[in-house]
Structure 1
Amino acid sequence: MKRFLLGLFLFQLFTFAANAQIQKGSIMLGGNLNYMNSSSNSNSNISSPSTVNSTTDGKSNSFTFNPKVGFTLSNNWVVGPMLILSSSKGTSESNWLSGSNSITDYTTTKNSSFGAGAFARKYIQFSDNFSAFGEVNATLNNRKEYRSSENSSQFEEAENKFNEIQGSIQAGLAYFPKNWIAIELSANILQYSHYGQNRDTELQDFETNQNSFGFNLNASAINLGVSFFLNNK
Protein backbone atom coordinates (compact mmCIF):
# COMPACT_ATOMS: atom_id res chain seq x y z
CA MET A 1 0.00 0.00 0.00
CA LYS A 2 2.82 2.39 0.88
CA ARG A 3 4.55 1.62 -2.44
CA PHE A 4 1.30 2.26 -4.31
CA LEU A 5 0.79 5.63 -2.58
CA LEU A 6 4.42 6.58 -3.22
CA GLY A 7 4.06 5.64 -6.89
CA LEU A 8 0.84 7.61 -7.16
CA PHE A 9 2.49 10.63 -5.54
CA LEU A 10 5.45 10.50 -7.97
CA PHE A 11 3.08 10.14 -10.92
CA GLN A 12 1.07 13.16 -9.80
CA LEU A 13 4.27 15.13 -9.21
CA PHE A 14 5.53 14.35 -12.72
CA THR A 15 2.13 15.16 -14.23
CA PHE A 16 2.13 18.49 -12.42
CA ALA A 17 5.67 19.24 -13.59
CA ALA A 18 4.83 18.41 -17.19
CA ASN A 19 1.88 20.80 -17.24
CA ALA A 20 3.16 23.77 -15.24
CA GLN A 21 5.35 26.84 -15.48
CA ILE A 22 6.04 27.05 -19.24
CA GLN A 23 2.86 26.89 -21.30
CA LYS A 24 2.37 25.74 -24.87
CA GLY A 25 2.61 28.68 -27.29
CA SER A 26 5.15 30.66 -25.23
CA ILE A 27 8.23 32.06 -26.96
CA MET A 28 11.58 31.96 -25.19
CA LEU A 29 14.20 34.67 -25.76
CA GLY A 30 17.44 34.01 -23.94
CA GLY A 31 21.03 32.90 -23.98
CA ASN A 32 23.98 31.67 -21.93
CA LEU A 33 27.18 33.48 -21.07
CA ASN A 34 30.51 32.04 -19.98
CA TYR A 35 33.55 34.18 -19.18
CA MET A 36 36.72 32.87 -17.61
CA ASN A 37 38.81 35.51 -15.84
CA SER A 38 42.42 35.90 -16.83
CA SER A 39 44.59 33.32 -15.15
CA SER A 40 48.32 33.26 -14.75
CA ASN A 41 50.77 30.51 -14.06
CA SER A 42 54.49 30.18 -13.80
CA ASN A 43 56.88 27.29 -13.68
CA SER A 44 60.62 26.93 -13.64
CA ASN A 45 63.08 24.24 -14.63
CA ILE A 46 66.31 24.70 -12.74
CA SER A 47 68.94 22.02 -13.21
CA SER A 48 72.69 21.78 -12.97
CA PRO A 49 74.76 24.81 -14.06
CA SER A 50 75.88 23.08 -17.22
CA THR A 51 72.38 22.69 -18.69
CA VAL A 52 69.57 25.00 -19.76
CA ASN A 53 67.42 26.71 -17.11
CA SER A 54 63.98 28.08 -18.03
CA THR A 55 60.99 29.94 -16.56
CA THR A 56 57.54 30.42 -18.10
CA ASP A 57 54.69 32.82 -17.28
CA GLY A 58 51.31 32.70 -19.03
CA LYS A 59 47.86 34.31 -19.05
CA SER A 60 44.63 33.35 -20.75
CA ASN A 61 40.96 34.31 -20.96
CA SER A 62 37.92 33.04 -22.84
CA PHE A 63 34.39 34.24 -23.64
CA THR A 64 31.35 32.37 -24.97
CA PHE A 65 27.83 33.64 -25.70
CA ASN A 66 24.97 31.73 -27.34
CA PRO A 67 21.63 33.55 -27.85
CA LYS A 68 18.52 31.40 -28.43
CA VAL A 69 14.92 31.71 -29.62
CA GLY A 70 12.69 28.87 -28.44
CA PHE A 71 9.14 27.85 -29.28
CA THR A 72 7.10 25.89 -26.72
CA LEU A 73 5.47 23.14 -28.78
CA SER A 74 4.03 21.45 -25.70
CA ASN A 75 4.10 22.28 -22.01
CA ASN A 76 7.73 22.51 -20.80
CA TRP A 77 9.18 21.39 -24.17
CA VAL A 78 11.10 24.16 -25.97
CA VAL A 79 12.83 23.89 -29.37
CA GLY A 80 14.37 26.48 -31.66
CA PRO A 81 17.45 27.98 -33.35
CA MET A 82 20.57 29.21 -31.59
CA LEU A 83 23.84 31.03 -32.31
CA ILE A 84 27.22 30.57 -30.70
CA LEU A 85 30.00 33.17 -30.46
CA SER A 86 33.26 32.46 -28.68
CA SER A 87 36.76 33.83 -28.42
CA SER A 88 39.87 33.13 -26.40
CA LYS A 89 43.36 34.53 -26.09
CA GLY A 90 46.49 33.30 -24.40
CA THR A 91 49.94 34.79 -23.97
CA SER A 92 53.10 33.34 -22.51
CA GLU A 93 56.66 34.45 -21.92
CA SER A 94 59.49 31.96 -21.63
CA ASN A 95 63.04 32.78 -20.55
CA TRP A 96 65.86 30.41 -21.41
CA LEU A 97 69.28 30.69 -19.78
CA SER A 98 72.28 28.60 -20.74
CA GLY A 99 75.55 29.86 -19.36
CA SER A 100 75.87 33.51 -20.39
CA ASN A 101 73.27 33.20 -23.21
CA SER A 102 69.67 34.35 -22.53
CA ILE A 103 66.68 34.03 -24.89
CA THR A 104 63.12 35.24 -24.30
CA ASP A 105 60.22 33.76 -26.31
CA TYR A 106 56.85 35.53 -26.59
CA THR A 107 53.90 33.41 -27.74
CA THR A 108 50.35 34.57 -28.50
CA THR A 109 47.38 32.34 -29.41
CA LYS A 110 43.93 33.54 -30.46
CA ASN A 111 40.81 31.51 -31.25
CA SER A 112 37.40 32.70 -32.41
CA SER A 113 34.27 30.86 -33.51
CA PHE A 114 30.86 31.75 -34.93
CA GLY A 115 28.13 29.21 -35.59
CA ALA A 116 24.44 28.47 -35.87
CA GLY A 117 22.33 25.46 -34.98
CA ALA A 118 19.31 24.18 -33.07
CA PHE A 119 18.40 23.03 -29.57
CA ALA A 120 15.69 21.10 -27.73
CA ARG A 121 15.06 21.60 -24.00
CA LYS A 122 12.86 19.89 -21.41
CA TYR A 123 11.93 21.63 -18.12
CA ILE A 124 10.86 19.70 -15.01
CA GLN A 125 9.42 21.79 -12.19
CA PHE A 126 10.05 20.70 -8.59
CA SER A 127 8.87 23.83 -6.71
CA ASP A 128 6.93 27.03 -7.38
CA ASN A 129 10.05 28.93 -8.44
CA PHE A 130 12.62 26.30 -9.43
CA SER A 131 12.87 23.94 -12.38
CA ALA A 132 15.55 21.60 -13.62
CA PHE A 133 16.13 21.20 -17.34
CA GLY A 134 18.03 19.10 -19.82
CA GLU A 135 19.07 20.27 -23.27
CA VAL A 136 20.49 18.77 -26.45
CA ASN A 137 21.99 21.07 -29.09
CA ALA A 138 24.08 20.96 -32.26
CA THR A 139 25.82 23.73 -34.23
CA LEU A 140 27.94 24.23 -37.35
CA ASN A 141 30.76 26.66 -36.57
CA ASN A 142 33.29 28.67 -38.54
CA ARG A 143 36.47 28.65 -36.49
CA LYS A 144 39.72 30.62 -36.73
CA GLU A 145 43.01 29.90 -35.00
CA TYR A 146 46.04 32.20 -34.84
CA ARG A 147 49.45 31.66 -33.26
CA SER A 148 52.57 33.81 -33.21
CA SER A 149 55.97 33.22 -31.66
CA GLU A 150 58.71 35.82 -31.34
CA ASN A 151 62.21 36.11 -29.86
CA SER A 152 65.32 38.20 -30.50
CA SER A 153 66.26 36.26 -33.63
CA GLN A 154 63.00 35.33 -35.37
CA PHE A 155 59.24 35.86 -35.70
CA GLU A 156 56.76 33.19 -36.80
CA GLU A 157 52.99 33.28 -37.20
CA ALA A 158 50.31 30.93 -38.53
CA GLU A 159 46.58 31.27 -39.13
CA ASN A 160 44.12 28.46 -39.69
CA LYS A 161 40.42 28.47 -40.66
CA PHE A 162 37.99 25.54 -40.77
CA ASN A 163 34.39 24.47 -40.20
CA GLU A 164 33.47 22.49 -37.11
CA ILE A 165 30.44 20.41 -36.15
CA GLN A 166 29.73 20.55 -32.43
CA GLY A 167 27.08 19.05 -30.17
CA SER A 168 26.52 18.96 -26.43
CA ILE A 169 24.19 17.75 -23.70
CA GLN A 170 23.47 20.25 -20.93
CA ALA A 171 21.90 20.03 -17.50
CA GLY A 172 20.79 23.09 -15.59
CA LEU A 173 18.72 24.77 -12.92
CA ALA A 174 16.31 27.67 -13.57
CA TYR A 175 14.96 30.11 -10.99
CA PHE A 176 11.67 31.86 -11.88
CA PRO A 177 11.16 35.08 -9.84
CA LYS A 178 8.22 35.65 -12.24
CA ASN A 179 6.49 33.37 -14.73
CA TRP A 180 7.98 35.29 -17.66
CA ILE A 181 11.65 35.34 -16.62
CA ALA A 182 14.16 32.67 -15.60
CA ILE A 183 17.70 32.96 -14.27
CA GLU A 184 19.61 29.86 -15.33
CA LEU A 185 22.78 28.05 -14.34
CA SER A 186 23.81 25.20 -16.63
CA ALA A 187 26.76 22.98 -17.49
CA ASN A 188 27.88 21.17 -20.64
CA ILE A 189 28.17 17.72 -19.15
CA LEU A 190 28.87 15.99 -22.50
CA GLN A 191 30.39 17.52 -25.62
CA TYR A 192 31.35 16.27 -29.07
CA SER A 193 33.14 18.09 -31.89
CA HIS A 194 34.48 17.20 -35.33
CA TYR A 195 36.35 19.06 -38.02
CA GLY A 196 38.05 18.03 -41.25
CA GLN A 197 40.38 20.05 -43.41
CA ASN A 198 42.25 19.74 -46.69
CA ARG A 199 45.03 22.23 -47.44
CA ASP A 200 47.20 22.63 -50.51
CA THR A 201 50.32 24.77 -50.40
CA GLU A 202 53.36 25.11 -52.62
CA LEU A 203 55.33 22.91 -50.27
CA GLN A 204 52.85 20.29 -49.13
CA ASP A 205 49.36 18.83 -49.37
CA PHE A 206 47.82 17.49 -46.19
CA GLU A 207 44.47 16.43 -44.74
CA THR A 208 43.36 16.77 -41.13
CA ASN A 209 40.45 15.07 -39.36
CA GLN A 210 39.85 15.47 -35.67
CA ASN A 211 37.14 14.16 -33.35
CA SER A 212 36.80 14.87 -29.65
CA PHE A 213 34.32 13.61 -27.09
CA GLY A 214 34.41 14.09 -23.37
CA PHE A 215 32.89 15.00 -20.03
CA ASN A 216 33.20 18.62 -18.90
CA LEU A 217 33.52 18.79 -15.13
CA ASN A 218 35.36 22.10 -14.73
CA ALA A 219 34.53 25.80 -14.38
CA SER A 220 34.84 26.44 -18.14
CA ALA A 221 31.75 24.26 -18.73
CA ILE A 222 29.46 26.31 -16.45
CA ASN A 223 27.17 28.91 -18.07
CA LEU A 224 25.02 31.68 -16.62
CA GLY A 225 21.91 32.67 -18.57
CA VAL A 226 18.65 34.61 -18.56
CA SER A 227 15.51 33.65 -20.50
CA PHE A 228 12.32 35.64 -21.13
CA PHE A 229 9.05 33.82 -21.89
CA LEU A 230 6.57 35.82 -23.95
CA ASN A 231 2.88 34.95 -23.56
CA ASN A 232 3.64 32.68 -20.61
CA LYS A 233 0.68 32.72 -18.18
Structure 2
Amino acid sequence: MKKFLVMAALAIGSFANAQKGTILVGGNIGYTSEKSEYRFTESKTNEFSFSPKVGYQFHENWTVGGEFTVASSKSGFTGDEQKRNAFKAGAFVRYSVPLSQTFSVFADMGAGFQNAKVKNYDNGSLDSKSKADGLYLGVTPALFINIKKGFGLNFSIGGLGYETLSYDNNGPDVNSFYFNFGQTFNIGISKNF
Protein backbone atom coordinates (compact mmCIF):
# COMPACT_ATOMS: atom_id res chain seq x y z
CA MET A 1 0.00 0.00 0.00
CA LYS A 2 2.82 2.39 0.86
CA LYS A 3 4.50 1.80 -2.53
CA PHE A 4 1.21 2.44 -4.30
CA LEU A 5 0.78 5.81 -2.56
CA VAL A 6 4.36 6.84 -3.42
CA MET A 7 3.84 5.81 -7.07
CA ALA A 8 0.52 7.71 -7.21
CA ALA A 9 2.15 10.84 -5.76
CA LEU A 10 4.99 10.61 -8.29
CA ALA A 11 2.52 10.14 -11.15
CA ILE A 12 0.52 13.19 -10.07
CA GLY A 13 3.71 15.22 -9.63
CA SER A 14 5.10 14.19 -13.02
CA PHE A 15 1.80 15.11 -14.70
CA ALA A 16 1.80 18.55 -13.08
CA ASN A 17 5.47 19.20 -13.88
CA ALA A 18 5.03 18.13 -17.50
CA GLN A 19 2.65 21.06 -18.03
CA LYS A 20 4.85 23.84 -16.60
CA GLY A 21 6.20 26.23 -19.25
CA THR A 22 3.67 25.21 -21.90
CA ILE A 23 1.15 27.12 -24.00
CA LEU A 24 -2.52 26.30 -23.40
CA VAL A 25 -4.89 26.56 -26.36
CA GLY A 26 -8.53 25.73 -25.78
CA GLY A 27 -12.11 26.69 -26.07
CA ASN A 28 -15.67 25.93 -25.02
CA ILE A 29 -18.97 25.70 -26.79
CA GLY A 30 -21.89 26.57 -24.55
CA TYR A 31 -25.64 26.26 -24.67
CA THR A 32 -28.23 27.77 -22.32
CA SER A 33 -31.98 27.18 -22.52
CA GLU A 34 -34.68 28.68 -20.33
CA LYS A 35 -38.46 28.38 -20.49
CA SER A 36 -41.04 30.27 -18.42
CA GLU A 37 -44.78 30.91 -18.42
CA TYR A 38 -46.58 34.13 -17.55
CA ARG A 39 -50.36 34.49 -17.79
CA PHE A 40 -50.72 31.54 -20.14
CA THR A 41 -47.99 32.88 -22.44
CA GLU A 42 -44.76 30.96 -22.82
CA SER A 43 -41.35 32.60 -23.00
CA LYS A 44 -38.34 30.74 -24.32
CA THR A 45 -34.64 31.73 -24.42
CA ASN A 46 -31.87 29.87 -26.22
CA GLU A 47 -28.24 30.98 -26.27
CA PHE A 48 -25.19 29.54 -28.01
CA SER A 49 -21.64 30.67 -27.25
CA PHE A 50 -18.10 30.00 -28.42
CA SER A 51 -15.22 30.88 -26.08
CA PRO A 52 -11.61 30.28 -27.22
CA LYS A 53 -8.63 31.09 -25.00
CA VAL A 54 -4.83 31.03 -25.14
CA GLY A 55 -2.59 31.05 -22.09
CA TYR A 56 0.87 30.37 -20.71
CA GLN A 57 1.30 27.90 -17.85
CA PHE A 58 4.05 29.58 -15.84
CA HIS A 59 3.75 27.29 -12.78
CA GLU A 60 2.62 23.73 -12.14
CA ASN A 61 -0.85 24.93 -11.16
CA TRP A 62 -1.15 28.46 -12.64
CA THR A 63 -1.97 29.61 -16.17
CA VAL A 64 -2.55 33.18 -17.37
CA GLY A 65 -3.79 34.29 -20.79
CA GLY A 66 -6.38 35.94 -23.00
CA GLU A 67 -9.95 34.94 -23.79
CA PHE A 68 -12.89 36.04 -25.88
CA THR A 69 -16.48 34.94 -26.31
CA VAL A 70 -18.96 35.28 -29.15
CA ALA A 71 -22.58 34.57 -28.21
CA SER A 72 -25.96 34.71 -29.90
CA SER A 73 -29.37 34.38 -28.27
CA LYS A 74 -33.01 34.47 -29.19
CA SER A 75 -35.83 35.01 -26.68
CA GLY A 76 -39.36 36.25 -26.33
CA PHE A 77 -43.05 35.64 -25.93
CA THR A 78 -45.39 34.63 -28.72
CA GLY A 79 -45.35 37.42 -31.34
CA ASP A 80 -42.55 39.39 -29.66
CA GLU A 81 -38.95 38.33 -30.14
CA GLN A 82 -35.51 39.60 -29.18
CA LYS A 83 -32.24 38.70 -30.89
CA ARG A 84 -28.98 39.48 -29.12
CA ASN A 85 -25.37 39.19 -30.26
CA ALA A 86 -22.63 39.62 -27.67
CA PHE A 87 -18.84 39.80 -27.65
CA LYS A 88 -16.41 39.62 -24.72
CA ALA A 89 -12.61 40.05 -24.70
CA GLY A 90 -10.38 39.92 -21.68
CA ALA A 91 -7.81 38.06 -19.61
CA PHE A 92 -8.04 34.99 -17.41
CA VAL A 93 -6.09 33.22 -14.71
CA ARG A 94 -6.49 29.48 -14.10
CA TYR A 95 -5.67 27.45 -11.01
CA SER A 96 -5.49 23.74 -11.76
CA VAL A 97 -5.17 20.74 -9.43
CA PRO A 98 -4.35 17.34 -10.96
CA LEU A 99 -6.23 14.47 -9.34
CA SER A 100 -4.49 11.79 -11.44
CA GLN A 101 -2.80 11.49 -14.83
CA THR A 102 -6.27 11.49 -16.38
CA PHE A 103 -8.32 13.97 -14.33
CA SER A 104 -7.77 17.54 -13.15
CA VAL A 105 -10.08 20.14 -11.68
CA PHE A 106 -9.56 23.83 -12.33
CA ALA A 107 -11.14 27.22 -11.82
CA ASP A 108 -10.90 30.05 -14.34
CA MET A 109 -11.32 33.67 -13.29
CA GLY A 110 -11.81 36.01 -16.22
CA ALA A 111 -12.35 39.75 -16.53
CA GLY A 112 -12.61 42.16 -19.44
CA PHE A 113 -14.70 44.25 -21.83
CA GLN A 114 -18.03 43.26 -23.36
CA ASN A 115 -20.56 44.64 -25.80
CA ALA A 116 -24.01 43.64 -27.00
CA LYS A 117 -26.28 44.42 -29.93
CA VAL A 118 -30.00 43.84 -29.42
CA LYS A 119 -32.83 43.80 -31.98
CA ASN A 120 -36.47 43.68 -30.87
CA TYR A 121 -39.16 42.38 -33.22
CA ASP A 122 -42.93 42.88 -32.97
CA ASN A 123 -44.93 40.33 -34.99
CA GLY A 124 -41.95 39.68 -37.28
CA SER A 125 -41.00 43.30 -38.08
CA LEU A 126 -38.04 45.17 -36.57
CA ASP A 127 -39.28 47.37 -33.73
CA SER A 128 -36.03 48.72 -32.19
CA LYS A 129 -32.25 48.33 -32.06
CA SER A 130 -29.79 49.09 -29.28
CA LYS A 131 -26.11 48.74 -28.46
CA ALA A 132 -24.35 48.44 -25.10
CA ASP A 133 -20.81 48.35 -23.70
CA GLY A 134 -19.61 47.20 -20.30
CA LEU A 135 -17.36 45.00 -18.19
CA TYR A 136 -17.50 41.43 -16.91
CA LEU A 137 -15.94 39.34 -14.15
CA GLY A 138 -16.56 35.61 -13.74
CA VAL A 139 -15.37 32.43 -12.03
CA THR A 140 -15.96 29.03 -13.60
CA PRO A 141 -14.96 25.72 -12.00
CA ALA A 142 -14.47 22.79 -14.41
CA LEU A 143 -13.18 19.27 -14.91
CA PHE A 144 -10.37 18.40 -17.35
CA ILE A 145 -10.02 14.87 -18.76
CA ASN A 146 -6.57 14.22 -20.25
CA ILE A 147 -7.05 12.04 -23.32
CA LYS A 148 -3.45 11.95 -24.59
CA LYS A 149 -0.30 14.05 -24.04
CA GLY A 150 -1.98 17.21 -22.72
CA PHE A 151 -4.92 17.06 -25.17
CA GLY A 152 -8.25 16.72 -23.42
CA LEU A 153 -11.84 17.68 -22.75
CA ASN A 154 -13.16 20.38 -20.39
CA PHE A 155 -16.59 20.18 -18.75
CA SER A 156 -18.38 22.80 -16.68
CA ILE A 157 -21.97 23.30 -15.52
CA GLY A 158 -21.99 26.99 -14.69
CA GLY A 159 -20.27 29.54 -12.53
CA LEU A 160 -20.74 32.89 -10.91
CA GLY A 161 -20.03 36.40 -12.07
CA TYR A 162 -20.83 40.07 -12.32
CA GLU A 163 -21.56 42.09 -15.48
CA THR A 164 -22.27 45.70 -16.37
CA LEU A 165 -23.81 47.02 -19.60
CA SER A 166 -24.55 50.65 -20.45
CA TYR A 167 -26.96 51.04 -23.39
CA ASP A 168 -26.67 53.90 -25.89
CA ASN A 169 -29.28 56.62 -26.57
CA ASN A 170 -30.07 57.15 -22.88
CA GLY A 171 -30.83 53.46 -22.47
CA PRO A 172 -30.65 51.63 -19.16
CA ASP A 173 -27.52 50.81 -17.20
CA VAL A 174 -27.62 47.13 -16.30
CA ASN A 175 -25.64 45.58 -13.43
CA SER A 176 -26.18 41.86 -12.94
CA PHE A 177 -24.86 39.17 -10.65
CA TYR A 178 -25.33 35.57 -11.78
CA PHE A 179 -24.99 32.20 -10.11
CA ASN A 180 -25.91 29.65 -12.76
CA PHE A 181 -24.69 26.26 -11.53
CA GLY A 182 -26.76 23.55 -13.19
CA GLN A 183 -28.39 25.98 -15.63
CA THR A 184 -25.67 25.91 -18.29
CA PHE A 185 -23.51 23.20 -19.78
CA ASN A 186 -20.17 23.84 -21.47
CA ILE A 187 -17.92 21.36 -23.17
CA GLY A 188 -14.58 22.24 -24.66
CA ILE A 189 -11.21 20.99 -25.73
CA SER A 190 -7.75 22.13 -24.78
CA LYS A 191 -4.16 21.25 -25.62
CA ASN A 192 -0.89 22.14 -23.90
CA PHE A 193 2.00 22.66 -26.32
TM-score, normalised to structure 2's length?
Answer: 0.83
Please name the residue that 1:25 is paired with: 21
Identity of aligned residues (%): 29
Q: State the distance in 1 between where 2:48 and 2:161 align.
A: 17
Matched, 1:137 2:133: no
Please name the residue that 1:167 is paired with: 137
User: Is contact 1:17-1:126 (8 Å) kept?
Assistant: no
Unaligned runs of 5+ in 1: 1-8, 46-54, 94-105, 200-205
Unaligned runs of 5+ in 2: none
Instruction: Tell me the matched-pair count.
Output: 186
Letter in structure 2 aligned against 1:34:
G
Q: State the distance in 2 between where 1:207 and 1:161 align.
A: 9
C-alpha root-mean-square deviation of aligned residues, in Å? 2.8
Please name the residue that 1:227 is paired with: 190
In the alignment, which of 152, 155, 158 is matched to residue 182 of structure 1? 152
Please name the residue that 1:212 is paired with: 176
Q: State the distance in 2 between where 1:156 and 1:223 align.
A: 32
In the alignment, which of 35, 60, 75 is matched to residue 45 of structure 2? 60
User: Is contact 2:70-2:88 (8 Å) kept?
Assistant: yes
Matched, 1:71 2:67: no
| TM-aligned CA distance change 1:119 to 1:58, over 3 Å | same
Match of 1:188, SS state, is coil
Match of 2:159, SS state, is strand
| TM-aligned CA distance change 1:195 to 1:17, over 3 Å | farther
Alpha-carbon distance, 1:190 to partner: 1.2
Runs of 4+ with deviation above 6 angstroms: 39-43
| TM-aligned CA distance change 1:78 to 1:156, over 3 Å | closer
Alpha-carbon distance, 1:227 to partner: 0.1
Deviations 1:84-126 (CA, angstroms, capped at 9, x unpaired): 1001012432xxxxxxxxxxxx111101101210111011011
Match of 1:20, SS state, is helix
TM-score, normalised to structure 1's length?
Answer: 0.70
| TM-aligned CA distance change 1:130 to 1:21, over 3 Å | farther
| TM-aligned CA distance change 1:40 to 1:74, over 3 Å | closer
Alpha-carbon distance, 1:210 to partner: 2.2
Larger Rg belongs to? 1
